[in-house]
Structure formats: structure tokens, C-alpha cells
Amino acid sequence: DAMVIQNPRYQVTQFGKPVTLSCSQTLNHNVMYWYQQKSSQAPKLLFHYYDKDFNNEADTPDNFQSRRPNTSFCFLDIRSPGLGDAAMYLCATSSLMGKRQGAYEKLFFGSGTQLSVL
């Protein structure tokens, strides 16, 4: 059963043409993340939401925006995609597991959207 669902699996856009990637979750988790992963590199965090509170990483370009209209859905908007924005975009949710004293965070990832920019 898919828990974090990303659509579409593959997305092709043109240079400079706005594009939106979507993510939905059935886990009812408070936190949702967007990561960017370029070829042969590790995933890099772009931003995350704790409920409706948006947290941007310091080095995330202004070209990247996000929306979270409700608990289940989160969107990644790229306002003017450049060739360097071609990458896999991964959505994740997280939940605190265990007791507060020994609580740890477990991330659940979607399968990602592979974005190509022509």
C-alpha cells in the first residue's frame, strides 16, 4: 500500500516554464519534506513543513516554492526551471516514534518525480 505518493513519476518541462510536482500521504504525518537529488548525488533537503509552518533551507534557491493546502498534500513549484534543476525530487513524511525520552524520527519517502528540463 503506497503511503507517500508522488505524481507524476516522470515530468518533462521546458526551460523557463513553471512546473508543479505533487505529493500526497495517507499516513497523517505532521511533517513533510522535499528533497532534490541530482544524478549520482545524495538527496539534498530543500524545505519542510511542520503542519503549516514552512521551513526553508538557507541555500534553497528562490526559484523553488512550496505549498501545503492540508495535511495530506504538498506541492513543489519551480517558477522558472533551468537546465540545472533537472533532478529527482523526493517527498518524504515523518513521524516521531517511541517514547518522548527515546523518541526518534523515521522518514517515509515516496518514489520520487524525475524532472527533465529541455
Q: In what order do the strands lie in the sheet with 73-78?
A: 4-7, 19-25, 73-78, 64-67
Pairing mode of beta strands 87-97, 113-117: antiparallel
Collapsed DSSP state (helix, strand, coil) of residue 87: strand
Please, are residues 63 and 78 in contact by the beta-carbon 8 Å criterion?
A: yes
Would you give the binding string for other proteins spanning residues 52-91, x where CB under 8 A is met?
A: -----x------------------------------x-xx
Distance in Å, CB of 109 to other proteins, minimum = 3
Question: C-alpha distances in angstroms, 105 versus 19, 92, 99, 100?
Answer: 31, 12, 11, 11
**Considering only residues 13, 31, 63, 71, which one is a binding residue for other proteins as defined by CB under 8 A?**
31
Under the criterion CB under 8 A, does residue 4 sit at the interface with other proteins? yes
Q: Least distance from C-beta 9 to other proteins, angstroms?
A: 9
Q: Is 110 in the site for other proteins (CB under 8 A)?
A: yes
Cα gap 17→87, rounded to integer Å = 16
- As measured in angstroms, the least distance from the Cβ of 95 to other proteins is 9
Q: Which residues bind other proteins (CB under 8 A)?
A: 4, 30-31, 33, 41-45, 48, 50, 57, 88, 90-92, 94, 96, 100-112, 114
